[in-house]
Amino acid sequence: MSNSMSGNSGNPMSGNSSKNFPNGTECVARYDFKGNSEKDLPFKKGDIIEILQSTRDPNWYNAKKVSDGRTGLIPINYVQQRRALHLHEMPWFFGKITREKAEELLTPREVGLFLVRESTNFPGDYTLCVVSPQNNKKVEHYRVISTSDNQVTVDEEAFFPTLIELIKHYEKDADGLCTMLKKPLKKKTEILQSAIFKESFQKEGWAVPIEDVEFKELIGKGEFGNVYKGVWAKKTVAIKKLRDDSKTAQSLLAEASVMTTLQHKNLVVLVAISFQGDSILILTEYCEKGVLVEYLRTRGRAVITLEEQKGFAIDVCNGMRYLEEKNIIHRDLAARNVLLSDELCAKVSDFGLAKDVEQELASGKFPVKWTAPEAIELKIFSTKSDVWSFGILLWEIFSFGRNPYPREPLDELLTKIKSNYRMECPEKCPPFVYQLMLKCWDADPSRRPSFKQLHNELFNPDRETKL
């Protein structure tokens, strides 16, 4: 049976639920629930609820409110599964622009050229604007209705869980529109407006009240601002607190948007996000042993074993293999962007960000020593440029955190690399690992191995020269 709210006067308990949530599923409350008995779990709209167990009644589940750990019974129609955001996949979404502005942007008129904007007449809905083949290539504006069960539709016949799925459908078939969607009008920047991000994080259950976040000590200072150790929902977390700068805010939110789509043991996991005025907090899992490069430098050869070095290399490669499969480019892979859990599991962090190469080069902040030549010269970033960076990271691991290209002047480095200069093998590094580094540093990106191939090489139990 459908759990759609349409036609039931807004009563979320009308009809039976067809939802089936596995134990451990995180959900977001769509409505307030006060509870009718002592066994019920009261909650407010926006609270994050973890499903613990189903009951004999398919409409009711045992659940836990994440913020305070309280448990009880909940009506399943009051919650929806916490979903990933795919805002980085929506370059055609232009936010709050007028009808007139949309028509101006879709000039010169090309049949099937389209964009999506927020509806000005129906707040909460969207408008699909597409150049029609009729009437001298007129721009048609289709209202995209957001239903009460968080689906979207143009004609109230075909329903989709997200705008992305709706767009993909009409890119394959006009299905009642004036034309099939042929070409998205892309924004000059991939970063979306902060307001759009905020609304999306709240809607999908990633935003939490700032008063529920407890700050502990300062543990670092990064590109975006300060990083603190803290507590949320009785869980230790790392908190990135944003500097008050709109472009930085958009970059940070873009990173968090990507993180909602990823779940892997070798990636730093997003826990939640919080807004207060212009302040933005990003809560991620806390890694007890800190930054990999600092761990390597402070422990050194006397403490860190070859087996642990092997573990770090395999963990990072495993995380990067996952990003490779998801077609996500890191752009700044280095030991400073890898964190270690209490069990010394390495986790890649700070992935998915769009970098302003020109600005970073001009400011001297660009990580030249870790970046592939084609990314520096031609601004071409790819999984293969990440592979180059992984080779540098391997060198960092097996040199116990030394700075790459020691004693090489930075302004001469690219010229030397293009002349086939490569770093020497770190002391006592297994020869086959150094050979992997050299493969990663091939001048031709197409000849560099994939992360899948690198993982197989590092994890090969039959290799004579074991790590």
Q: Binding site for ATP: residue ranges?
A: 241
Collapsing DSSP to helix, strand or coil, 360 comes out as helix
Helices (H), 182-286: 194-203, 246-259
- The single-letter DSSP state of residue 339 is E
H or E, element range at 79: strand 79-81
Residue 81 tokens read as 């599964």
H or E, element range at 142: strand 139-146
- For residue 65, report the phi and psi dihedrals to the nearest 5 degrees: -80, 120
Quick count: other Cβ atoms within 10 Å of Cβ 119? 19
345: Cα separation from own chain's centroid: 20
Residue 378 tokens read as 């031609």
Residue 72 tokens read as 């009880």
Q: How far is CA 192 from CA 105, 246, 453, in A?
A: 16, 11, 35
Residue 119 tokens read as 């509806």
Asked whether the beta carbons of 274 and 280 are under 8 A apart, the reply is: yes
């039976």: which residue's tokens? 16
Q: What is the CA radius of gyration of the chain?
A: 25
Q: Whole-angstrom Cα distance, residue 257 to residue 398?
A: 33
């929806």: which residue's tokens? 80
Q: Of the listed 332, 342, 356, 444, which one is catalytic?
A: 332
Q: Whole-angstrom Cα distance, residue 348 to residue 449?
A: 19
The DSSP secondary structure of 238-250, one letter per residue, reads EEEEE-S-HHHHH
Q: Whole-angstrom Cα distance, residue 38 to residue 308?
A: 51
Residue 110 tokens read as 């090309």
Residue 53 tokens read as 């167990």
- For residue 228, report the phi and psi dihedrals to the nearest 5 degrees: -120, 155
- Residue 332 annotated as catalytic: yes
């006067």: which residue's tokens? 9
Cβ neighbours for 424, distance < 8 A, ≥ 6 positions apart: none
332: Cα separation from own chain's centroid: 15
Residue 289 tokens read as 């042993």
Q: Whole-angstrom Cα distance, residue 158 to residue 169?
A: 10
Name the residues annotated as catalytic.
332
